[in-house]
């Protein structure tokens, strides 16, 4: 009882500190902006459930020097820290937000991997070559092929590694642009992000790896072309210089930085974003100051299914488990399982530039994230198609006709209207029926800094910057012009691990 009470007290105190804005420190772009501060507090409160109940490392335990400094406590940063620790290093993680997790917490659909033990157990025949080919096709043949080859060949190993540290992803579904089920989720089919973050934080703390929050890294220091550490602002008050033999940047993308987006893609100005408020491109900007180069900065993914009022992502697993998209006329208008850029383009061709996801109780039972959508008030429901049409404000006869046609297509395994071939294992006949109104939103920045397969950051001459590594959404090139759903979670684990391993090798060789 005492243990339970203690854990509960720690959680309550953590939430109180978060809500009170203990050391609130948004990005360097938003200091002094009250509306963004409030937004950050709101985001933090939402994210805290995905973080560990245990507290983060107290500020008074900060040291002046570490073997490896990791900037950012999302999936890539924590994976890097765990691997560096396993190699005998003394790493530290510095996170500018009040909680760990970053955009990883918001990940919904799952983690793509091929030739995994869980696929084999379930009779799913897949290959690394097929995964490679489909990702290359999804990126319109513009992906960095060396990074992509490393990515697919190490995907199964990443699933095994997570399983070995108590993070099991054995519930498998499919996302757009894929022919085989390779999107790995938690056993109960819930959203992958919070589960992953909770498991990684637990492992980081069990390994005794210091993880400081409200630690806003402002600069990566260097001397004679070699990285020497970082300058970091704690609690927006105390500036410290910490030295390290290597620095790993895992700060995420810039999907929440409206100024950066408007600069590279003025056509996307005004769109809502699914990104957490800390995704402001700080890491990219710091690396550029050191001479690092970038790639594909104008390649920004707009996700087709975002709840507009709350800017909340409706995960691709909903479509992967059988949902369809209809217009305000109650009619299907595209292959829902096409790549994200194509589905987004189809929605934007509609007069209202919005659409409605329609699904049944079967889909709801297979995608646990829908329970969260219900709690947030996004889901319309009715015991009949006619009743649902009324809730959706679409013609009932057209919606019924659409559903009948779709259910026949599922039965016959042939979508004569739009050629959909995946996410058709079950029809939509199980009452009650559900709908969520959606539209496109900024979701992911494919562009970022250039690295090699050792995760070393490259300069304009293509040479590594000594002692500097990067992994995750801060990196560009892997996804090309379009990211396949489920590949970003795979990227943060695969390349996060590699950054931890390679930075440790670098430090040992000094």
- State the catalytic residues: 340
**What is the DSSP-derived secondary structure letter of residue 105?**
G
Report yes or no: 276 and 414 within 8 Å, Cβ to Cβ: no
What torsion, rounded to 10 degrees, do the Cα atoms 203, 207, 213, 217 define? -110
Count of C-beta atoms within a 10 Å radius of residue 240: 15
- Give me the half-sphere count of Cα atoms (radius 13 Å) on the Cβ side of residue 132: 15
The token pair at 349 is 């061709």
404: part of which helix (H) or strand (E)? Answer: helix 396-412
CA 7/CA 76 separation, integer angstroms: 27
Q: What gap in Å lies between CA 473 and CA 58, rounded to an integer?
A: 28
The DSSP code sequence of 435-467 is EEEEEEEEEEE--EE-B-TT-EEEBTTSPEEEE
CB 311 within 8 A of CB 361: no
- Residue 116 main-chain phi, psi, to 5 deg: -90, 160
**Which contiguous run of DSSP H or E holds residue 229?**
strand 226-234
SS3 353: coil
| 3-class secondary-structure state, position 242 | strand
Residue given tokens 């959404």 in the structure block: 473
Q: Could you give the 3-state DSSP secondary structure of residue 478?
A: coil
Instruction: For residue 453, count other CB atoms closer than 10 A to its CB.
Output: 15
H or E segment to which residue 371 belongs: helix 369-375
């Amino acid at each position: 009882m005492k243990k339970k009470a203690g854990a509960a007290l720690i959680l309550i105190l953590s939430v109180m500190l978060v809500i009170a804005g203990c050391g609130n420190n948004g990005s360097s772009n938003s200091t002094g902006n009250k509306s963004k501060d409030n937004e950050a507090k709101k985001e933090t409160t939402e994210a805290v459930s995905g973080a560990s109940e245990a507290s983060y490392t107290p500020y008074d335990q900060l040291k002046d020097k570490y073997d490896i400094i990791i900037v950012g406590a999302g999936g890539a940063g924590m994976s890097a820290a765990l691997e560096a620790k396993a190699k005998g290093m003394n790493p530290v993680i510095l996170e500018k937000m009040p909680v760990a997790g970053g955009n990883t917490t918001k990940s919904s659909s799952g983690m793509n991997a091929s030739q995994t033990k869980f696929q084999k157990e379930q009779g799913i025949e897949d290959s690394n070559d097929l995964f490679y080919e489909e990702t290359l096709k999804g990126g319109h043949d513009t992906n960095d092929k060396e990074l992509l080859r490393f990515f697919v060949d190490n995907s199964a190993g990443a699933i095994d590694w997570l399983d070995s540290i108590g993070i099991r992803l054995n519930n498998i579904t499919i996302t757009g642009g894929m022919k085989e089920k390779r999107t790995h989720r938690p056993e109960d089919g819930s959203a992958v992000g919070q589960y992953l973050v909770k498991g990684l934080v637990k492992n980081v703390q069990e390994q005794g790896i210091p993880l400081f929050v409200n630690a806003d890294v402002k600069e990566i220091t260097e001397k004679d072309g070699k990285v020497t550490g970082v300058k970091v602002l704690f609690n927006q008050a105390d500036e410290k210089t910490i030295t390290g033999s290597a620095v790993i940047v895992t700060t995420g993308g810039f999907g929440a930085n409206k100024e950066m987006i408007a600069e590279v893609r003025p056509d996307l100005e005004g769109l809502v974003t699914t990104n957490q408020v800390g995704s402001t491109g700080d890491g990219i900007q710091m690396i550029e100051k050191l001479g690092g180069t970038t790639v594909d900065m104008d390649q920004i993914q707009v996700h087709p299914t975002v709840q507009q009022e709350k800017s909340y992502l409706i995960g691709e697993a909903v479509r992967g488990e059988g949902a369809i998209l209809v217009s305000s006329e109650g009619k299907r208008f595209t292959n829902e399982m096409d790549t994200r850029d194509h589905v987004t383009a189809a929605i934007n061709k509609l007069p209202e530039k919005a659409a409605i996801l329609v699904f049944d109780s079967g889909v709801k039972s297979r995608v646990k994230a829908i329970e969260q959508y219900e709690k947030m008030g996004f889901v319309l429901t009715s015991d009949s198609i006619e009743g649902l049409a009324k809730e959706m404000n679409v013609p009932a006869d057209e919606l019924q006709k659409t559903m009948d046609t779709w259910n026949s297509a599922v039965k016959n395994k042939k979508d004569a209207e739009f050629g959909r071939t995946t996410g058709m294992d079950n029809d939509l006949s199980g009452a009650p029926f559900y709908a969520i109104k959606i539209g496109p939103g900024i979701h992911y920045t494919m562009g970022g800094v250039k690295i090699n397969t050792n995760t070393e950051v490259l300069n304009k001459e293509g040479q590594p910057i000594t002692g500097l590594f990067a992994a995750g959404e801060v990196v560009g090139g892997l996804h090309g012009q379009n990211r396949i759903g489920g590949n970003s979670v795979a990227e943060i684990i695969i390349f996060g691990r590699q950054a931890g391993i390679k930075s440790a090798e670098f430090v040992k060789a000094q």
